[in-house]
Amino acid sequence: MTLKTNRFNVITLTLTSLLGFGAAMAASDAKAAEPAPIVVSYQDLDLSRPADARTLYQRLEHAAAAACSEAPSAAELSRHLAWSRCYDTALDSAVLQVRSPELLAIHRSSRASSQS
């Protein structure tokens, strides 16, 4: 791996853009707390390999879900929509931070298949 690649071997799933989500959840639930950043390492992966890019994508999905707390049931529509926005924003942000065309292609493919 090159030095340039090594700079991106650890990303932080920053959720500062999700402060609106935290405020909305606090208004509807007194227990809500601001989501904490989650560090996702991919030092062991070569993102030019499709299998490794898929592995990182799965790690990012899990981190986004964890950062946004447990998903409420679909019956709690407003809370579920807020959680979905949190998750989508966190995952989008993390994928963009990596700056990998392979990872972005997986993300776009996943979004397209989930909307159909």
**Is residue 92 exposed (0-12), middle (13-18) or buried (19+ Cβ within 10 Å)?**
middle
Of the candidates 95, 109, 111, 91, the one whose C-alpha atom is nearest the C-alpha of residue 8 is 95
To the nearest 10°, report the CA torsion of 16, 116, 73, 107. -30
* pLDDT (0 to 100) of residue 36: 63
- Tally of structural domains, the chain: 1
Does residue 14 fall inside a structural domain? no
User: Can you give the residue range of the structural domain that contains 98?
Assistant: 25-115
Does residue 72 fall inside a structural domain? yes
Does residue 32 fall inside a structural domain? yes
For the full predicted model, state whether its pTM sits above 0.75. no
Does residue 20 fall inside a structural domain? no
Does residue 77 fall inside a structural domain? yes
Does residue 75 fall inside a structural domain? yes
Task: Walk along the chain (116 residues) in steps of 10 and give the mean pLDDT of each run.
Answer: 49 49 46 64 96 97 90 88 91 95 96 82
